Amino acid sequence: MPTLMVSVSGIRGIVGDGLDPQAIVKYASAYADFCGRGKIVIGSDGRISGEMVSKLVIGALLAKGNDVVDIGICPTPTVLFNVKNLKAIGGIQISASHNPNEWNALKLLNKKGEFMTTEENNQMLSILELANNNYAVWNKLGKLTSYSQGLDDHIEAVLKLPFINISKIRKKKFKVLLDCVNGAGAYSMPKLLEKLGCKVVEINCSKSGIFPRMPEPIPENLKPTRNAVKKHKAEIGIVVDPDVDRLVLITDKGEPFSEENTITQAIKFWLSKKKGNVVVNLSTTRAVDDVANEFGCKVFRSPVGEANVVKKMKEVNAIIGGEGSGGVILPKPIFGRDALTGTVIMLQHLLEFGGTMSQLKNSLPQYFISKKKIQIGSKNPNEIINSLIAKYSGQQINTNDGLRIDFTDHWAHFRKSNTEPIIRCIVEAKNKKDAETYADKYFQEISN
């Protein structure tokens, strides 16, 4: 049966099996009604179905009377940047992020150049069934323009970040192994790294839009990439997902730097230059707390999801934030996860650190994470969560997003799935054995 995943993250589905033309037009039309008349920015992550989806979205928006600025194939954060830069009332990135080739999605932005909040998303969905009722007449249709400078404007803004010495990075001439999984990164990352004076060895950087491997940049999908780092004697491996909001690093030894360390090192560098509040989600490593404590700064935690992190960052006036999936967020120039921003911070940090990527990794607080999907069958997930709350009531508990329990030697985060009869369990401890032992313990408690 065709399925369509509708959430605050956007409208996501398999092309031809849920994400069909009727659905695309329906949701794009509802989004136009939500935004009102005005200019809307459109981009795509370059996957093979992007052109088809883009033309449908653009057609629907023009039919609603909205002007459309097409900035072409580019990272998701480039669309966020250009909504603000071009003073648009909204933006849509056509990208299913790290999902495989057959998937695509509409990522919906608000007029601030940020992902729609839960409240905004609910408002749009409330008018969904009326979306096809009020298209513009022939002489009030919107106008389509192309803006090829959108990506260059984004890159230039990132290069102007404070605390970044571009000339010194250029002199260092870092040798980088770059893997863009043939997505939007192939259009953006080589250009950025060239401006930073890096010697770049490219793999999976064609512009075919067909992913040569599973596109999620997790260690099990990156063995050939890790081997290529060693083969080419690169100082750094840089991997991005198809829409370039996640930054994954590989050490000079071809070992995973770890996505959790991507955000940890970025926060460590930023706090060394400027003191302030930090926001990460509830599933992000405790290493962030250790680093913040080092600088006398405070960490706040939000529910999982970029929009939730951004919302919390605004509430506490945070100077940096992100997620343990490799997403670095600064309030400027893009209030969202951005691998280009993360790359510039990482290179400056490594430059000032003066050692190798392996040494930088070893200098960070050491933790290990274990993740499990626990099948619960017909059991009520809310009852399971409530029983865990009662059992561990003497510990530090956070229920803003499922249940996170902080113990002295580890923490555990339990989240129910909205699409499967499972509970996701993430456990972090100081060593791999303890993390896996605790994860097995909770697996047994929930399964029995």
The residues annotated as belonging to the active site are 97
Of the candidates 125, 201, 188, the residue with the CA atom closest to the CA atom of residue 159: 188
Q: Cα Rg for the chain, rounded, in angstroms?
A: 22
* Nearest alpha carbon to residue 242 among 171, 289, 180, 294: 180
User: Cβ(104)–Cβ(50) under 8 Å?
Assistant: yes
What is d(CA 370, CA 99) in angstroms, rounded to the nearest whole number?
22
Give the C-alpha separation, 13 to 3, whole Å: 6
Q: Are 166 and 143 in contact (CB under 8 A)?
A: no
The tokens 């600025």 sit on which residue? 69
Quick check: bond before 75 cis, omega within 30? no
Q: In what order do the strands lie in the sheet with 278-281?
A: 299-302, 278-281, 320-323, 327-329
Looking up tokens 């339990």 gives: 414
Amino acid of residue 113: G
- The amino acid that residue 345 corresponds to is I
Nearest-CA neighbor of 368 among 428, 310, 311, 408?
428
B/e letters for 431-442, b = 16+ CB within 10 Å, e = fewer, are eeebbbebbeeb
Cβ-proximal residues to 167 (8 Å cutoff; 6+ apart), any chain: none
End-to-end CA, the chain:
32
CA distance 209 to 183: 6
- What burial class does residue 189 get, using C-beta atoms within 10 Å of its C-beta: 0-12 exposed, 13-18 middle, 19+ buried? buried
Residue with tokens 């770890």: 258
Q: Name the DSSP class of 381.
A: H
Q: How far apart are the C-alpha atoms of 263 and 325, rounded to whole Å?
A: 8
CA distance 106 to 355: 41
